[in-house]
Amino acid sequence: MALQGPAKTVAQTVSVVIFMGALAWASVPLYDWFCRVTGFGGVTGVSQVAPEDVLDQTITVRFDGSLNNHMPWEFKPVVREMEVRIGESGLAFYEAYNPTNRPIAGSASYNVTPYQAGGFFNKIQCFCFEEQVLQPGERVQMPVTFYVDPEIVDDRDGKHIHTITLSYTFYEIDLPEDTASVQDSDANSDTSLN
C-alpha cells in the first residue's frame, strides 16, 4: 500500500532528517580518513618503516610546538630544524615539562605545512599516537621518527617544496582511570593524616 498525501510528506521528511543525521554522524570519521589518505590539510601519513629508496636530495624539516590555552605544561622542540635526505629516516625530540603540583594528561594534535607536503610526510613512531601523563615536576623528551617520501620529487607541487614544518599542539585531557584513582587515594590519605 503506497502512502498518500500528508503521510507521504511526513515519511519523506523523516527519511531526509535520518539521512542528514547519518551524514553528520559519519562526516568527522570520513573527513579524518580522507585527510589521512590524501594528506589534505597537512595531515601526515603513518608508516611502519622508511622506504629503501633514499635520494641524494635533502629537505629541511622545521619543528614547532605550542600549547592549548588551558594546558599548563611547557612544551618545545629540542632542535628547531634539521636537514634530512629524502627517504631517510629522521629522529627528532620534543620536550615537555609539568611545572604544576598535580599529574596532568595531555594529547597532541599535529599537522605539517605547507599542506601539500602532508601526503609525503610519514611518521614511523610518534608520541602523538598515545596520551602522555606527566607527574608533578616531571620533564620528558618525546621522540618522533619520520621520513619524507621520495615521491615528493615527482609530484607537480611537491617538487617545489624545500622546507616542511611539523607542528604539534598539546591540550589537556582527563587523566586515565588508574592515574586518577591513585591521585584520589593519595589525596584521601593526606586528609586522614591531618
Concatenate the DSSP letters of all residues of 11-53 into one string.
HHHHHHHHHHHHHHHHHHHHHHHHHHHH-GGGPPEE-SS--S-
Query: What does the mean pLDDT of the chain come to?
Result: 82
Which residues is 188 bridged to in the sheet?
none
Query: How much is the pLDDT for 121?
Result: 93
pLDDT digits (tens, 9 = 90+) for 149-173: 999 999 998 999 999 999 999 999 9
Taking the whole predicted model, whether its pTM rises above 0.75 is answered as no
Judged by DSSP in three states, 103 sits in coil
**Three cell numbers, residue 43:** 595531515
Q: Each residue of 25-78: pLDDT tens digit?
A: 554 444 444 444 444 444 566 666 777 889 999 999 999 999 998 899 999 999
pLDDT at 6 over 50: yes
Q: What band does 186 get if pLDDT is binned at 50, 70 and 90?
A: low
Q: Are 31 and 62 in contact (CB under 8 A)?
A: no
- Measured distance CA(115)–CA(138) in Å, rounded: 34
CA dihedral 38, 42, 48, 51 (to 10 degrees): 80
Lowest mean pLDDT among 7-21, 25-39, 94-108, 144-158: 25-39
